[in-house]
Amino acid sequence: MLVTCWSVKGGVGTTVVSVALATTLARTHTLDGGALLVDLGGDVPATLGLPDPRDPGLTGWTSAGEDVAADALARLELSVGPGLALLPRGRGLPGPSARHEVLARLLGAEARPVVVDAGVVGPDSPGLPLVAEASRSLLVTRACYLGLRRAVDLPVRPSGVVLLREAGRTMGREDVETVVGAPVVADIPVDPAVARAVDAGVLARRVPRALARSLQAAA
């Protein structure tokens, strides 16, 4: 199972959702190999309360071309929690879309559940194949018209929406589903306990209950 979490506007909660989902899947799959979290955005280590890993990372792998050793991707993995492995982003610019197509195929063939934090995706993002090839492609968004109209213009469609629910928005769940053309699979309250857990680097150790409950259907 390849789950790609992505957004069309920054700062909406994509990394938090990716880390919480991967942590939950790692716990439920501890006996059969755990889960793999793939970081294209670069914020996952800090969200896990870890220092940024040194090179190499995925950007090196995607820009290295076709001559890398067959097991090179597996050698980039770091163990970051019970049953949870991380493929870190690394430094530098990501390689071309063709290498992300290869990456999507390799991750899609994984026996473990894989969660990708694809970050902000635009029409020219090299990471688009990871959104297009995912078995679950989750758009993380707030009920924000300016963000949603960007989603409509993309060449990819999500299979589900993770909605960050804020007080005072005029657009509701049904409006979001109508605009995006996909069901809301998780409705997450904006909760200061989540922001505090992220800032303290303890999100993966203790996923706040409301967040874990909201993500159950998406996991």
Ligand X SMILES: Nc1ncnc2c1ncn2[C@@H]1O[C@H](COP(=O)(O)OP(=O)(O)OP(=O)(O)O)[C@@H](O)[C@H]1O
Instruction: Work out how close the CB of 140 gets to ligand X at its nearest, in angstroms, rounded to a whole number.
Output: 6
- Which residues in 12-71 contact Mg ion (CB under 5 A)? 14-15, 41, 43
| 133 scored as a contact of ligand X (CB under 6 A) | no
Question: CB of 43: closest distance to Mg ion in angstroms?
Answer: 4
The Cβ of residue 218 has, within 10 Å, a number of other Cβ atoms equal to 20
Measure the CA–CA gap between 15 and 20, rounded to whole angstroms: 8
CA pair distance 149, 112, nearest whole angstrom:
34
Nearer to ligand X, 12 or 204 (CB): 12
Under a CB-based contact definition with an 8 Å cutoff, are residues 113 and 18 in contact? no
Q: Least CB distance from residue 167 to ligand X, whole Å?
A: 12
Residues numbered 34-53 forming contacts with ligand X, rule: CB under 6 A? 41, 43
Choose which of 10, 65, 123, 183 interacts with ligand X (CB under 6 A).
Answer: 10
3-state secondary structure of 92: coil
Give me the least distance between CB of 120 and Mg ion, in Å please.
8
- Hey, what's the torsion of the CAs at 165, 168, 172, 173, to 10 degrees? 10
Residue of the chain from 2, 12, 38, 163 that contacts ligand X (CB under 6 A): 12
**CA gap 49, 131 in Å, rounded:** 26
Contacted entry of Mg ion, ligand X, none for residue 98, CB cut-off 5 to 8 Å set by kind: none
Closest alpha carbon to 39 in 57, 21, 64 = 57
Question: Quick one: what does residue 130 bind among Mg ion, ligand X, none, with the CB cut-off 5 to 8 Å set by partner type?
Answer: none
Closest by CA to 196, choosing from 188, 207, 186, is: 207
User: Contact positions toward Mg ion, by CB under 5 A?
Assistant: 14-15, 41, 43
User: Contact positions toward ligand X, by CB under 6 A?
Assistant: 7, 10-16, 41, 43, 119-120, 164, 188, 190-191, 194-195, 198, 211
